[in-house]
Structure 1
Amino acid sequence: MHIELATAPSAADLKTISQGIQSYNQEHLPDQLVFEPDTRFPAFARNEQGEVVGGIRANAFWNYCIIELLWLSAQTRGSGVGSRLMAAVEAHAKAQGFNYMRTETLDFQAKPFYEKLGYQVYGELADCPKGHTTYCLIKAL
């Protein structure tokens, strides 16, 4: 047995891993869940010049929509842009049939923001990254 860490894996090798977990999952889940494609989508906030000043990168599958990244430029923070972006993403996720939103945030990032929007902490990772706490949050749509 040879263990290899790949920083530039081939598409074929990545596909083998995906198909392997799908095959295993088929033993426990209905096919429509096993073979459901990821639904990746962004939401952007643009200023009057058309420049991106904030955005969300989301990925949805099964019955969850996961906020992978949320960024707001310094000039847009606290102006309601983040809440408007979240509302747009949540509305899209709900319209697509997803039941829950999930995300993670660090202790110096947006935990109070998410809680204000109805998210609840369901887990904490202490000292991750070192010296900080990662909070895992969820919200039912």
Structure 2
Amino acid sequence: MHIEVTCSPSKEALEILSKGIQSFNQKHISDEVVFEEDTKFAVLAKDENGTVQGGIRATAFWNYCIIELLWLSEDTRGLGVGTQLMEAAERFAKSKGFHYLRTETLSFQAKPFYEKLGFTVFGELPDYPTGHTTYCLVKKI
């Protein structure tokens, strides 16, 4: 067996990995879940000129909506825009049949914000990145 580390895997190699895990998963969960397509979406906050001032990037599958990132421009912070974005993402996730929101935030970012919105911490990664903590949060919707 030859072990290879690559930063540029071929499409074919990635497809083999995806098909392999799907095949394994089929032994444990229904095909409907195994082959469920990811739902990728964004929620954007735009100013009167149509310029993006903040937003959310998310992916959802297997009854979880994962908030990959939430960003707000300096000018929009503290104005309730983040809460509006999260509420819109939650409504969208619910409308698509997802039951949970999940996210991660760093110790210098938005843990209190997410907790105010009903998220609870289910895990911590200390010293990730070095000198900080990553918090994993979840909310049932």
Q: In the alignment, which residue of structure 1 is the partner of 2:95?
A: 95
Structure 2 unaligned regions, length at least 5 = none
Superposed CA offset, 1:18-71 (max 9, x none): 100000000100110100011111111111111111011100000100000111
What RMSD in Å do the two structures reach over aligned CA positions?
0.8
Q: In the alignment, which residue of structure 2 is the partner of 1:48?
A: 48
Count of equivalent residues: 141
Q: Which amino acid aligns with 2:64?
A: Y
- Residues in 2 aligned to 1:17 and 1:138: alpha-carbon distance in whole angstroms: 28
Normalising to structure 2: TM-score of the pair? 0.97
Alpha-carbon offset, residue 4 of structure 1? 1.9
Counting aligned pairs with the same residue, the percent is: 64
Q: Which amino acid aligns with 2:19?
A: Q
Q: In the alignment, which residue of structure 2 is the partner of 1:24?
A: 24
Alpha-carbon offset, residue 8 of structure 1? 2.1
Q: In the alignment, which residue of structure 2 is the partner of 1:15?
A: 15
Normalising to structure 1: TM-score of the pair? 0.97
Structure 1 unaligned regions, length at least 5 = none
- Residues in 2 aligned to 1:133 and 1:81: alpha-carbon distance in whole angstroms: 25
Q: In the alignment, which residue of structure 2 is the partner of 1:115?
A: 115
- Residues in 1 aligned to 2:26 and 2:14: alpha-carbon distance in whole angstroms: 19
- Residues in 2 aligned to 1:3 and 1:78: alpha-carbon distance in whole angstroms: 50
